[in-house]
Amino acid sequence: MKRFHIALYAALLLTAPLSMAQSKRGDVAADIPFPFVVAGQTLPAGHYIVSPASDSSLRIQGSAHRGTFVPTNITQRSISDTSCKLVFHRYGDSYFLSEVWVTGNDRGRQLLRSRAERELAARATAAEDRVVAAR
């Protein structure tokens, strides 16, 4: 019986790093060269990690920022595009995080538009998308 417990503990210890590695699957790291708005907060330019928090939300964390949770919807992309990237909507000098895509996944996350973004979009003559390559 003692051998069984030792074998069980050994198996648990060996699989723990695997489960920890899987929990990081889907993380996107990017150096964002401009301040941007997410969940009603303006975040400074810098290095950020975007990771799934649940099936319907993301966590955005920067080196000087503890983290923000934002609601999302699942979105589908074209089959020809398999890059890892963050997509921002730009209105004048304001950038809003809009989409998060992970390499090799045809489904991404689309952030819900804030009231501020909807107001700027209504007044803007043209919106521009800005893509930041991620890893």
- 26-48 pLDDT tens trace: 899 999 999 999 988 999 999 99
In a domain, 122, yes or no: yes
Q: How many domains does the chain have?
A: 1
Q: What would the two tokens of residue 58 be?
A: 């993301």
In a domain, 127, yes or no: yes
Give 25's pLDDT tier (boundaries 50, 70, 90). Answer: low
In a domain, 4, yes or no: no
Give 66's pLDDT tier (boundaries 50, 70, 90). Answer: confident
15 burial via Cβ count (<10 Å: 0-12, 13-18, 19+): exposed
pLDDT given at position 2: 43
Question: Does residue 128 register a pLDDT over 90?
Answer: no
User: Residue 109 belongs to what domain range?
Assistant: 26-133
In a domain, 37, yes or no: yes
In a domain, 84, yes or no: yes
Q: What would the two tokens of residue 77 be?
A: 């992309």
Mean pLDDT along residues 5-24:
33
What's the length of the chain?
135
CB 62 within 8 A of CB 46: yes
**What is the overall mean pLDDT for the chain?**
81
Q: In a 3-state reduction of DSSP, which class is residue 65?
A: strand
In a domain, 7, yes or no: no
Higher pLDDT, 31 or 5: 31
In a domain, 11, yes or no: no
pLDDT above 90 coverage of the chain, percent: 56
In a domain, 69, yes or no: yes
Mean pLDDT along residues 107-118:
93
Give 13's pLDDT tier (boundaries 50, 70, 90). Answer: very low
